[in-house]
Amino acid sequence: MTGATGVLGQSNSASPSYKLLSAPELGGGGQVGNGSDIRGELALGGLAAGSVSRVTAGGAQENFNYIGQLYDVGGIVVEGSPSTIDEGDTRQLQAVATLDDLTEVVLSAPELKWSVLSGPLSGISSSGLATADSVYADAAVTVQASSQGVNGQLGLTVRNTNGDDFGGYAGDGLPDDWQVGHFGEPPNADAAPQANPDFDPYDNLTEFLTGYSPVDAGAFFQLSIVDTMGSRTTLALSKVVPGTRYRIERRNDPAADPWVELMNFTTLNELFDHLVEDPNAPGPRWFYRVGVEPE
Ligand SMILES: [Ca+2]
Ligand SMILES: [Ca+2]
Ligand SMILES: [Ca+2]
């Protein structure tokens, strides 16, 4: 027998002036006693009603149920199903102790202590309700339940169900995992959509939409004319990526004409040096531009 025990009054049970009565009204964790000279704290509050005995004087009632069971917590198993939590959501956890007589009891506060060992949980309530933080990618967490110096642990996964909700990177139109991958966890002003920390021609949002690194001054989207034959012009887009819509526009007089859309398209695969043909370019000179937007 080691450690604290969960039953009080056992030393008094042999006294002729006391009787042990079951005490279902006590619930878990309460302080019980006979009001004068017997008093103790339950060491573990999750025992089912009726399994904790109360010492009382006089013996007005004799509803014997369980008396004087002694136990140690041999092990704790933490249960929670399913083992995934969507970010921002909650999951009810339960800690089950196996006692040294091989019975099992569900533990509860205050004898049971919850803690988050690692991972993005904002906390666990005293009743075992775990709340997941926002994440930028699926993330593992480990929770622990402790009682009487015995620990039980459980691994859970917080699922990333919203790609743009992570801390200081939330709601800015850039995927949080892309921002964390290039700029680390927030806050980082360099990660803002309109920032251009590599001082190339394009801001971060454009770099993302065109599939280029926002931290490499030598890597950025380029549009070029690779061939002209009469009114037929071939354009090259340095790279096209899935998830982005490309819009090709043309005009003749940059001072007077509006841009006219020639085509727009998306791609299923990342392609380099993607060629686009304009078969009917008018006039002695003309200009092109390409716009990008989320697909
Ligand atoms: Ca998220
Ligand atoms: Ca974001
Ligand atoms: Ca840039």
Q: In this predicted model, what pLDDT tens digit does every residue of 104-120 receive, in sequence order?
A: 999 998 899 999 999 99
Nearest ligand atom owner, CA of 161: 1
Q: Which residues neighbour ligand 1 (ion) by CB within 5 Å?
A: 160, 162, 165
- Separation of CA 202 and ligand 3 centre (Å): 4
Which of 295, 204, 179 is CA-nearest to residue 241?
295
Is 216 domain-assigned?
Answer: no
Which ligand neighbours the alpha carbon of 202 most closely?
3
Positive or negative torsion for Cα 106, 109, 113, 116 = positive
pLDDT in tens, 163-200: 999 999 999 999 999 999 999 999 999 999 999 999 99
Do the domain assignments include residue 215? Answer: no
The ligand minimizing its distance to the Cα of 206 is 3
In a domain, 171, yes or no: yes
Nearest to 234 by CA among 279, 283, 293: 279
Give CA–CA dist 72/98, Å, rounded: 9
Share of the chain above pLDDT 90, in %: 65
pLDDT band at 285 (very low <50, low <70, confident <90, very high): confident
Ligand nearest to the CA of 165: 1
Residues with C-beta atoms within 5 A of ion ligand 2 = 164, 169, 172, 174, 176
Sequence-ordered list of residues with C-beta below 8 angstroms from that of 70, at least 6 positions apart, any chain = 1, 5, 6, 7, 10
Last residue of a domain, one of 54, 70, 86: 70
Are residues 153 and 175 both part of a single domain?
no
Inform me whether the pLDDT recorded for 86 exceeds 70. yes
Last residue of a domain, one of 70, 89, 118: 70
- Please indicate, yes or no, if residue 55 is contained in any of the structural domains: yes
pLDDT score at 101? 80
Distance 240 CA to ligand 1 centre (A): 26
pLDDT tops 90 at residue 201? yes
Q: What is the pLDDT of residue 48?
A: 42
Query: For the segment 115-156, what is each residue's pLDDT rounded down to a tens digit?
Result: 999 999 999 999 999 999 999 999 999 999 999 899 999 999
Is the predicted pLDDT of residue 287 greater than 80, yes or no?
yes
Count structural domains, the chain.
Answer: 4
Write out pLDDT tens, residues 239-263.
999 999 999 999 998 889 999 999 9
Single out the residue of 74, 83, 81 nearest to residue 107, CA to CA. 74
272 and 230 housed in the same domain: yes
- With H, G, I as helix, E, B as strand and everything else as coil, classify residue 10: helix
Question: What confidence tens digit (pLDDT) does each residue in 28-37 have?
Answer: 443 433 334 4
Distance 204 CA to ligand 3 centre (A): 5
**What's residue 116's pLDDT?**
97
Instruction: Let me know if residue 45 belongs to a domain.
Output: yes
Q: Which domain holds residue 60?
A: 1-70
